[in-house]
Amino acid sequence: MRIEETRRRPRSPSLTPLIDVVFILLVFFMLVSSFVEWRAIKVDTPPAVTLARPGADTTTRRLQVFPGGRLVLDGETVDLPGLARRVRARPGEAVQVVPMPGLTLQPLVTVLDRIAAAGGSAALREP
């Protein structure tokens, strides 16, 4: 007796589990990622002419930041801890930060962070 085999169509794999996995990964990455800028540095450049309000404290300090990390605050050389102490000692004063030619970005950011951590306000000024 001869038994004939029936031809079967080859089965294609189901894409439903793959689509489920892709959607689960999409939801996971949407929940885990953050689109908020959590670290920003506010840089205010003062205008050329500043009008003072009557009775307002208009004293500002000038901080020059040189390549190599040397800091000069109002003509005196200071280090980062000394800068933080002086900013904390006179909290109402603004600090004008003057980056000298050849300065890279990282020392400038470090100085601005240190001034902000000490409770001071800083503005960048051209040399």
Is residue 27, in this structure, part of any structural domain at all?
Answer: no
Comparing 23 with 14, the larger pLDDT belongs to 23
Distance CA 22, CA 12 (A): 19
pLDDT value, residue 41 = 57
pLDDT value, residue 40 = 59
Residues contacting 99, CB < 8 A, separation 6+: 65, 108, 124, 127
User: What's the chain's length in residues?
Assistant: 127
Please provide the average confidence, as pLDDT, over all residues in the chain.
79
Is residue 16, in this structure, part of any structural domain at all?
Answer: no
Is residue 55, in this structure, part of any structural domain at all?
Answer: no
pLDDT value, residue 51 = 39
Is residue 5, in this structure, part of any structural domain at all?
Answer: no
Res 104 pLDDT > 90: no
Is residue 49, in this structure, part of any structural domain at all?
Answer: no
The CATH number covering residue 90 comes to: 3.30.420.270
Both tokens of residue 6? 């029936």
pLDDT value, residue 78 = 92
Confidence band for 52, pLDDT divided at 50, 70 and 90: very low
pTM here is 0.54
H/E stretch holding 98: strand 94-99
Share of the chain above pLDDT 90, in %: 16
Is residue 104, in this structure, part of any structural domain at all?
Answer: yes
The pLDDT of 98-113, averaged and rounded, is 87
Domain, as residue range, for 75:
60-124
Task: Give how far Cα 111 sits from Cα of 33, 59, 75, 79, Å.
Answer: 30, 20, 17, 10
